[in-house]
Chain A
Amino acid sequence: MIPTQYYLLLSAAIFCIGVFGVLTRRNALIFLMSVELILNAANINLVAFSFQHGNLSGQVFSLFTMGIAAAEVAVGLGIVLVLYRNFSDVDITEATTMRW
C-alpha cells in the first residue's frame, strides 16, 4: 500500500502548479485550467484521506467538487466569451477600464 504522504506530496505539487498558473498566465482559458488543477488537487487529498480514515464522506464530497468545478467552468467560459466580444482578446490584463 502506498503511504498517504505520497498522495499529499502529489496533491501539494498539483496545487502549486495551479497557483503558479493562476498567478503568471495571462490567457483566461489557461487560468480556468489552472483553477481546475487546484480543485483536483483537493480531490486527490479527499480520496486519499477517505481511504486512510476508512469513511466515505471524503469520496462523496470529491464527487460534489467535480460537479461544482464543471459548473464553475461553464460560468467562466461564458464570462470569457463576453470578454472576447468586448475586448477582442482573452488576455486578462487587457481589461483595464477601471483603476483605483
Chain B
Amino acid sequence: MVNLPTWTALAPTLLLALTAIILLVVDSVDPDTSNNELLAGIAGIGSLAAAATSAWLITGGTGLPGESGALITFFGDQLVADQMYLFFSFLIASVLALVVVASYDYMREHRYQAEYYSLVLLAATGMSLLAGANSLAVAFVSLELASLPSYALVAILKRNRGSVEAALKYFLVGALSSGVFAYGISLIYGATGSLQFNDVAQGLSGGPPAALLGVGVMMVAGGVAFKTASSPFHFWAPEAYEGAPAPVSAFLSSASKAAGFVLAFRVFVTAFPLDVVSTTVDWVIVFQVLAIVTMFVGNFAAATQEKVKRMLAYSSVGHAGYVLIGLAALTGGSSDTFVLGSGMSHLLVYGFMNTGAFLFIALAEYWDIGRTFEDYNGLATEAPLACGAMTVLLFSLAGLPIGGGFFSKFYLLMATVNTGTWLLGAALIINSALSLFYYSRIVKAMWIEEPAASLEIDSYPVGLYTAVIVAAIVTVLLVPGFDAVSSTAESAAALL
C-alpha cells in the first residue's frame, strides 16, 4: 500500500472535527436556513467518511507497530493512533451516521438544526479523541469535549420540561464526576510525577506513596464509571436517556459509553499495570464488584419499568455491567488479550443493536403513539417492517443467536471461564435470562396484543426507517462477521 504521512492516522477525528466546523460555517453564512437536506447531508457524509476511513486504515494495518516496532504517536506520546483508536473511531462514527440519518426526520421541525448537527459531531470528535488519548491530560480534555456538547444536546428541546430536567440531572452528575476525575488525576500526578500513561506506569515501580495512589486510582475509576453509566454512578442515565430526544439517547447510550470504556481499558491496562499496583490498590476486585452490581441493578430495574424508553435506558446500564467483565476478568496472565477483546467486541455489537433499538423509540416518538408498553400494542399491524427490525434488535440484545449479540455475550462468558471468574459468568447468565423477559414484553406488545382503536400511523419517515433497518441488518450480518470483529479487537487489545 502507499505510504501515507503519519498525521493521516488521525484522519477519523480530523474528519469529524472538520465536518462540525463546516456545519458551523454553513450556519453562519445563512443563519436562517432550515435546509434540512443540506445540513443532514453534510453531517451524514462526514460521519460515513470517518467510519470508512477508520475501517480502511485498520485493514491497511495503520494501527500496528511500524517497521521500527513503534506505534504512531503524536505530540510526544500524548496521542496514540493504534488499532484500538481506529476500532473505537469506527464504532463511534458508525453510531453517529445512524443517528444523523434518523435525525433527518426527527429534528426536521427544529429551529436550530445546524447547531444540533455540529454539537453531535463535536461530541463524536471528543469521543474519538478519547479513544486515542495516551495521557491523563488529553484524556481529561477530550472527556470534556465529549461531555459538554452532550449536556447541550440533551437539553436541545428547550421548551420540553423532560428534556431540560434530563439535561440538568446529566449535568449535575457529570460536573461532579469530572471534578472528582480531575482531583484523581492530580493525586496520580503527585504520586508518579507524570501524566503520560507509560510514564505513570514507570513512576509506579519506584514505590510511590500508597495512599495518594490508591485514592487517585479510585477517583479515576469513579470518573470512568460515570461516563460508562456503571453503578454507583448510573443514576443520571435513566433520566437523561428518557428525557433526551431519542436520537440523542441512542448516541449517548452507545457511543458515549464506548468512549468511556476505551478510556477505562487504556488507563487501567497501560497506566496501572496489574502486576505493579495490585499490592497497593487491586482495581480488578473493584471492577468485579462494579460489574456484578451494575448487571443486577440495570437488569432488575429494567424488568420493573412501565415505559419502553426507560426500560432500554436501564438495559443499557446492564450492558455496561457485561462490558465491565472485560476489565474485571483480567488476571495478568495470557488470557488477558481475549478478555479485553471480548469486551471490545461486545461494545461494537452493542453499539449497533442498542442504537437501532433507541432509534425505533425515536420512530415511535415521531408517530406520537405514547411511551408505555401498552401504547405499543399491535404496532406490527401498522408497521410490520420496523417492528420486525426491532424484534431482531431486541432478541440480539437479549443474546439470542439471531444477531451478533449472541456471540459477543458468548465470548464474554468464555472469558470468565478461561480466567476462572465463575461469579461473573453466573451473573452474566442470570441477567441475560432476565433480560429476555423484559425485551420479550415489547415483542409481545408489538406482535401479539390487539391494537388500541386509536392506533393509526399516517407517515413512514424514510430516514428513521433506514436507520432502524440498517442497524438490524448490520446486527444480523455480525453473526457471520463476528470472527473479523473479534480478531481485530484481540489484536488491538494485544497492543496495549
Contacts and interface: CB of A to CB of B under 8 A. Distances in A.
A15 B239 CA distance: 27
A6 interface: no
Nearest to A47: B186
Nearest to B184: A42
A61 B189 contact: yes
B164 A86 contact: yes
B194 interface: yes
Contacts of A82: 155, 158, 164, 167
B162 to A, nearest CB: 6
B189 A46 contact: yes
B383 to A, nearest CB: 27
B182 A58 contact: no
Nearest to A68: B144
B265 to A, nearest CB: 22
A57 B189 contact: yes
A41 to B, nearest CB: 6
Interface string B231-244: 00000001100110
Contacts of B176: 19, 22, 35, 38
Contacts of A65: 140, 182
A82 to B, nearest CB: 5
Interface string A34-59: 01001101110110111011010110
B165 A76 contact: no
Given A49-B186, A98-B165, A100-B301, A31 B172 contact: yes
Main secondary structure of the interface of A (DSSP, over half): helix
B17 to A, nearest CB: 16
B216 to A, nearest CB: 10
Contacts of B169: 95
B481 interface: no
Contacts of B172: 22, 31, 92
Contacts of A15: 183
A17 interface: no
A97 B183 contact: no
B175 interface: yes
Nearest to A96: B165
Interface residues of A, number: 49
B171 interface: yes
B281 interface: no
Contacts of B158: 82, 85-86
Contact of A98 (B137, B194, B242): B242
Interface in A52-87: 52-53, 55, 57-58, 60-61, 64-65, 68, 71-72, 75-76, 78-80, 82-83, 85-87
B175 A42 contact: no
B152 interface: yes
B138 to A, nearest CB: 9
Contacts of B182: 38-39, 42, 65
Contact of A49 (B183, B189, B242): B189
Contact of A57 (B155, B159, B178, B195): B195
Contact of A55 (B144, B162, B164, B193): B193
B183 A45 contact: yes
B183 A42 contact: yes
A45 B190 contact: yes
Given A38-B179, A75-B171, A92-B172, A68 B243 contact: no
Contacts of B190: 4, 8, 45, 48-49, 52
Most B C-beta atoms less than 10 A away, residue of A19, A48, A57: A57
A95 B166 CA distance: 9
A96 B162 CA distance: 9
Given A31-B172, A92-B172, A79 B140 contact: no
A48 B190 CA distance: 9
18 contacts: A31-B172, A35-B175, A35-B176, A41-B183, A43-B186, A57-B189, A57-B195, A61-B185, A61-B195, A71-B144, A76-B151, A79-B168, A80-B168, A82-B164, A98-B238, A98-B239, A98-B243, A100-B238
Interface of A: 4, 8, 11, 15, 18-19, 22, 28, 31-32, 35, 38-39, 41-43, 45-46, 48-50, 52-53, 55, 57-58, 60-61, 64-65, 68, 71-72, 75-76, 78-80, 82-83, 85-87, 92, 95-98, 100
Closest 3 CB pairs of A and B: A38-B179, A45-B186, A53-B193
Interface of B: 136-137, 140-141, 144, 148, 151-152, 155, 158-159, 161-162, 164-169, 171-172, 175-176, 178-180, 182-183, 185-187, 189-190, 193-195, 238-239, 242-243, 301, 305, 310
Given A45-B187, A79-B152, 17 more contacts: A4-B190, A46-B186, A60-B137, A61-B137, A72-B144, A72-B178, A75-B152, A75-B171, A82-B158, A92-B172, A95-B164, A95-B168, A96-B165, A97-B161, A98-B310, A100-B238, A100-B301
